[in-house]
Protein backbone atom coordinates (compact mmCIF):
# COMPACT_ATOMS: atom_id res chain seq x y z
CA UNK A 1 0.00 0.00 0.00
CA UNK A 2 2.87 2.42 0.65
CA UNK A 3 3.81 2.27 -3.04
CA UNK A 4 0.28 3.26 -3.96
CA UNK A 5 0.27 6.18 -1.50
CA UNK A 6 3.60 7.42 -2.92
CA UNK A 7 2.04 7.46 -6.40
CA UNK A 8 -1.01 9.30 -5.05
CA UNK A 9 1.24 11.91 -3.38
CA UNK A 10 3.16 12.33 -6.61
CA UNK A 11 -0.04 12.86 -8.58
CA UNK A 12 -1.28 15.42 -6.05
CA UNK A 13 2.08 17.25 -6.12
CA UNK A 14 2.08 17.42 -9.93
CA UNK A 15 -1.54 18.64 -9.95
CA UNK A 16 -0.68 21.33 -7.39
CA UNK A 17 2.30 22.50 -9.47
CA UNK A 18 0.18 22.65 -12.61
CA UNK A 19 -2.49 24.66 -10.77
CA UNK A 20 0.15 27.14 -9.56
CA UNK A 21 1.65 27.46 -13.03
CA UNK A 22 -1.78 28.16 -14.50
CA UNK A 23 -2.14 31.13 -12.15
CA UNK A 24 1.02 32.89 -13.33
CA UNK A 25 0.73 35.82 -15.71
CA UNK A 26 1.71 35.54 -19.35
CA UNK A 27 2.83 38.43 -21.54
CA UNK A 28 2.42 39.17 -25.24
CA UNK A 29 4.36 41.77 -27.19
CA UNK A 30 2.84 43.56 -30.18
CA UNK A 31 4.49 45.85 -32.68
CA UNK A 32 8.08 46.92 -33.10
CA UNK A 33 10.32 49.81 -32.10
CA UNK A 34 13.99 49.78 -33.13
CA UNK A 35 16.67 49.37 -30.49
CA UNK A 36 18.67 52.42 -29.43
CA UNK A 37 21.83 50.88 -30.94
CA UNK A 38 20.10 50.66 -34.34
CA UNK A 39 18.83 54.25 -34.05
CA UNK A 40 22.36 55.51 -33.49
CA UNK A 41 23.05 54.68 -37.14
CA UNK A 42 20.35 57.18 -38.23
CA UNK A 43 21.77 60.71 -38.58
CA UNK A 44 19.47 63.68 -38.07
CA UNK A 45 19.71 66.04 -41.05
CA UNK A 46 21.50 63.49 -43.25
CA UNK A 47 19.44 60.32 -43.61
CA UNK A 48 16.41 60.18 -45.90
CA UNK A 49 13.26 58.05 -45.75
CA UNK A 50 14.90 55.39 -47.90
CA UNK A 51 18.09 55.22 -45.82
CA UNK A 52 16.00 55.04 -42.62
CA UNK A 53 14.02 52.16 -44.13
CA UNK A 54 17.30 50.42 -45.03
CA UNK A 55 18.76 50.90 -41.53
CA UNK A 56 15.77 50.16 -39.25
CA UNK A 57 12.91 49.14 -41.55
CA UNK A 58 9.48 50.58 -42.25
CA UNK A 59 6.90 50.91 -39.48
CA UNK A 60 4.96 47.65 -39.14
CA UNK A 61 1.24 47.15 -39.42
CA UNK A 62 0.76 48.58 -35.91
CA UNK A 63 2.81 51.68 -36.72
CA UNK A 64 1.92 54.62 -38.90
CA UNK A 65 3.48 56.15 -41.98
CA UNK A 66 2.28 59.70 -42.40
CA UNK A 67 3.45 62.37 -44.79
CA UNK A 68 5.72 64.17 -42.33
CA UNK A 69 6.59 61.41 -39.83
CA UNK A 70 6.85 57.67 -39.24
CA UNK A 71 5.65 56.14 -35.98
CA UNK A 72 6.89 52.78 -34.69
CA UNK A 73 4.62 51.41 -31.96
CA UNK A 74 5.28 48.57 -29.50
CA UNK A 75 3.07 47.44 -26.64
CA UNK A 76 3.16 44.72 -23.99
CA UNK A 77 0.00 43.00 -22.73
CA UNK A 78 -0.39 41.05 -19.50
CA UNK A 79 -2.77 38.10 -19.43
CA UNK A 80 -3.66 36.81 -15.98
CA UNK A 81 -6.14 34.00 -15.30
CA UNK A 82 -9.70 34.94 -16.24
CA UNK A 83 -9.13 38.73 -16.14
CA UNK A 84 -9.25 40.95 -19.23
CA UNK A 85 -5.83 41.46 -20.86
CA UNK A 86 -4.13 44.59 -19.54
CA UNK A 87 -1.73 46.79 -21.49
CA UNK A 88 1.25 47.31 -19.19
CA UNK A 89 3.62 49.17 -21.51
CA UNK A 90 3.51 51.12 -24.75
CA UNK A 91 6.36 52.79 -26.57
CA UNK A 92 6.24 55.03 -29.64
CA UNK A 93 9.24 56.04 -31.72
CA UNK A 94 8.51 59.10 -33.89
CA UNK A 95 10.81 60.02 -36.77
CA UNK A 96 9.91 63.37 -38.37
CA UNK A 97 11.02 64.34 -41.85
CA UNK A 98 11.81 67.83 -43.15
CA UNK A 99 10.53 69.25 -46.43
CA UNK A 100 13.70 68.02 -48.21
CA UNK A 101 12.85 64.44 -47.05
CA UNK A 102 15.71 64.19 -44.53
CA UNK A 103 15.31 63.20 -40.89
CA UNK A 104 14.45 66.28 -38.84
CA UNK A 105 13.68 64.73 -35.46
CA UNK A 106 13.85 61.40 -33.61
CA UNK A 107 11.84 61.03 -30.40
CA UNK A 108 10.96 58.04 -28.25
CA UNK A 109 7.83 58.26 -26.10
CA UNK A 110 6.66 56.01 -23.26
CA UNK A 111 3.43 55.74 -21.40
CA UNK A 112 3.10 56.61 -17.76
CA UNK A 113 -0.27 57.08 -16.11
CA UNK A 114 -1.88 57.44 -19.54
CA UNK A 115 0.27 60.44 -20.47
CA UNK A 116 2.72 60.84 -23.35
CA UNK A 117 6.22 61.05 -21.86
CA UNK A 118 9.35 61.77 -23.91
CA UNK A 119 11.98 59.12 -23.11
CA UNK A 120 14.63 60.45 -25.50
CA UNK A 121 14.88 63.15 -28.13
CA UNK A 122 17.32 63.98 -30.94
CA UNK A 123 16.39 67.08 -32.91
CA UNK A 124 17.96 69.66 -35.18
CA UNK A 125 15.83 72.46 -33.72
CA UNK A 126 13.60 72.99 -30.68
CA UNK A 127 10.35 71.93 -32.37
CA UNK A 128 8.69 68.69 -31.33
CA UNK A 129 6.97 66.12 -33.47
CA UNK A 130 4.51 67.86 -35.76
CA UNK A 131 2.03 65.00 -35.63
CA UNK A 132 1.23 65.39 -31.93
CA UNK A 133 -2.42 64.65 -32.72
CA UNK A 134 -1.36 61.24 -34.00
CA UNK A 135 0.51 60.56 -30.75
CA UNK A 136 -2.59 61.51 -28.79
CA UNK A 137 -4.60 58.99 -30.86
CA UNK A 138 -1.98 56.26 -30.29
CA UNK A 139 -1.89 56.81 -26.52
CA UNK A 140 -5.47 57.97 -26.11
CA UNK A 141 -7.08 54.58 -26.60
CA UNK A 142 -5.07 52.96 -23.79
CA UNK A 143 -6.99 49.89 -22.79
CA UNK A 144 -9.52 50.42 -25.57
CA UNK A 145 -7.83 47.94 -27.90
CA UNK A 146 -9.17 44.43 -27.81
CA UNK A 147 -6.32 41.99 -28.61
CA UNK A 148 -8.88 39.38 -29.63
CA UNK A 149 -9.68 41.50 -32.70
CA UNK A 150 -6.01 41.56 -33.66
CA UNK A 151 -5.49 37.85 -33.04
CA UNK A 152 -8.72 36.91 -34.77
CA UNK A 153 -10.16 35.05 -31.77
Q: What is the 3-state secondary structure (H, E, C) of 32-95?
A: CCCCHHHHCCCCCCCCEHHHHHHHHCCCCCCCEECCCEEEEEEEEEEECCCCCCEEEEEEEEEE
Residue 29, in any domain of the structure: yes
Whether the pTM exceeds 0.85: the reply is no
Would you say residue 41 has pLDDT above 90? yes
**Number of structural domains the chain divides into:** 1
Residue 19, in any domain of the structure: no
Would you say residue 118 has pLDDT above 60? no
Residue 139, in any domain of the structure: yes
Residue 11, in any domain of the structure: no
Which range has the worst mean pLDDT, 62-71, 95-104, 134-143? Answer: 134-143
CA dist 64 and 60 (Å) reads: 8
Residue 40, in any domain of the structure: yes
Domain that holds residue 50: 25-151
Q: What is the pLDDT of residues 83-113, one digit of tens each?
A: 888 888 888 888 999 989 899 999 888 877 5
Cβ within 8 Å of residue 127, ≥6 positions away: 105
Q: What is the pLDDT of residues 42-57, one digit of tens each?
A: 999 999 999 999 999 9
Amino acid sequence: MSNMSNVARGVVAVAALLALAACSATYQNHGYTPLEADLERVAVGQDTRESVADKIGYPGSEGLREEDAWYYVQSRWRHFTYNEPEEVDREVLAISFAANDTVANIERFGIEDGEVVALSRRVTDTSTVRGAGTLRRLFGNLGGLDPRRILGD
